[in-house]
Amino acid sequence: MKKIAVVMLLGMVLGLTSSSPAQEQIFFAGQELGVGARAMAMGGAYVGIADDYSAMYWNPAGLGQMRRSELNIGFSHNAMENTATFLGQEFDSKDTFTRLNSIGLSFPIPTYRGSLVLGIGYNKVRDYNNTLEFEGFNTRYAAFQDWVAPTYIDDDSGLPFTTTIDDSVYQKESLYEDGSMNEFVLSGAIEVQKNFFLGATVAFLGGKDEYNLLFDEADIYNIYNTPLYETPTIISDLDYWLYDQTITSEFSGTRLRLGGLYKLGNIRLGATMTAPTEIRVKEAWSEVQKEYYDQEFYDDEAYEELTDSGEFEYKYREPYAFSFGGSIQLINVLLSGAVDFQDWSQAEFTTEPPVGGTKGEINNVLRRELQAVTKVRLGAEVTIPIIDARVRAGYFNSPSPYKYATMVPDMEYLSAGFGLMLGRQAMFDLSLVHGTWQTETVDDLTQVKTVEEKTFDKLVGTLKIRF
């Protein structure tokens, strides 16, 4: 017999557990919650505040309000928990990640009138964290029949082997994903007239997403035990099959964000526009299949291993994004609100996608299945003069960009935090963002619906020193 290569990444390259075209998932992978503990504690309702280093992300025009230089450094700790229901049983998995969230400097330039403020920094803006584990006795489907047997061809007939291994196997699956999208930013803001500021940020994007899926199924009750020599073109002697897939994606691109901010007494109004952003993706994948049989299968062995690997490179473009917001200071209470708008039906691949159809076909699917979304953000901050501290809380929602699918559901987040002055020049801010949502998926290995209850917590601590 001889082995032939089979392309198994179709529908899996960007997310094995997708029930919709896989290429769409790249637009919405990960969690983008923002930069800066203060802003995040206020639900990201910061486009109408933006008076510290994090303005480079939320609204670069806000930098123009700063009268002193600011050194910023922040760290984040993420916790992802997933409770998966598979074949009537619940399985918990959890993972944690700690990373640098931001580091940078903003500094005013002396001017005759008005203000000119520049900024430079590094921010981690999106997290690619996911985990999933489940197992069970599947009486409906065995992946072996579609993933292994067709890779063998009978030398005499030229026909692929068949198998009777089509159900009643014990399946176990674990998924791990880790990575981030980062940006190196250059920003500037100017006060073009009294209390009216304009600003811009150029962000050079980079990052990596590492995805690993491990799946195995076993004939634990020895249901399939017919040796090959008794049925020469039927594989029916499986003991254990393992599938191991790794995908590493590297991202790069350039993003331009323009902003404006106007101060009217104790009220501030802000707006930003983010230009369409083209992202280049370099993707390397590999897969290993290991097959174990009860008896000698061929070449006097009861074991076989298949390996395959490859690389892809493609580009996609995210559409225009707009944000509008405002804030009002009432004695020791600061209230803020914002809305973010982005029409995802205008997202598109600018080169041929790696698998699953041509650029035109996939872009037509995007226009048909995606929609415009509006995020609502609310935040509040209370200053406590006696201890020179601030207490914060916030809320924001993230509607699904899909018209019908449940792969990317509506999400809601609650946030809270505090800030504490450390002397006259430094402040320490801490925030916690908490989100929960549910997804329903059917992957190609189990053919069984898996319901996932996900919880994502992000703790961010930021130290700001002004001088």
The CATH number of the domain where 390 resides is what?
A: 2.40.160.60
Give per-residue pLDDT as tens, 394-429: 999 999 898 876 667 889 999 999 999 998 899 999
Question: One-letter amino acid identity for 273?
Answer: M
Distance CA 182, CA 409 (A): 24
Which single residue is written with the structure tokens 């009268």?
67
The model carries a pTM of 0.86
The share of the chain scoring above pLDDT 70, in percent, equals 91
Give per-residue pLDDT as tens, 283-327: 999 999 998 888 765 555 677 788 999 998 999 999 999 999 999
Which single residue is written with the structure tokens 């041509």?
358
Distance CA 40, CA 33 (A): 7
CB 126 within 8 A of CB 207: yes
- What is the per-residue pLDDT for 330? 93
- Give the best-scoring range by mean pLDDT among 88-102, 126-140, 253-267, 345-359: 253-267
CB 172 within 8 A of CB 135: yes
Distance CA 429, CA 240 (A): 52
- Predicted confidence (pLDDT) at residue 20 exceeds the cutoff of 70: no
447 pLDDT band, cuts 50/70/90, is very high
Domain that holds residue 275: 2-466
- Predicted confidence (pLDDT) at residue 15 exceeds the cutoff of 50: no
Give per-residue pLDDT as tens, 37-88: 999 999 999 999 999 999 999 999 999 999 999 999 999 999 999 999 999 9
Report DSSP letters for 231-252, one per residue: STTEEB-EEEEEEEEEEEEEEE
Q: Which helix (H) or strand (E) holds 363?
A: helix 359-369
Distance CA 247, CA 109 (A): 46
310: Cα within 13 Å, side-chain hemisphere: 12
Question: One-letter amino acid identity for 449?
Answer: K
What contacts 284, CB < 8 A, 6 or more positions away?
A: 247, 248, 309, 310, 311
- What is the per-residue pLDDT for 301? 61
Task: Please state the rounded mean pLDDT for residues 356-377.
Answer: 89
- In the chain, the number of structural domains is 1
Instruction: Copy the structure tokens of residue 152.
Output: 């063998």
266 burial via Cβ count (<10 Å: 0-12, 13-18, 19+): exposed
Give per-residue pLDDT as tens, 139-156: 999 998 888 877 777 777
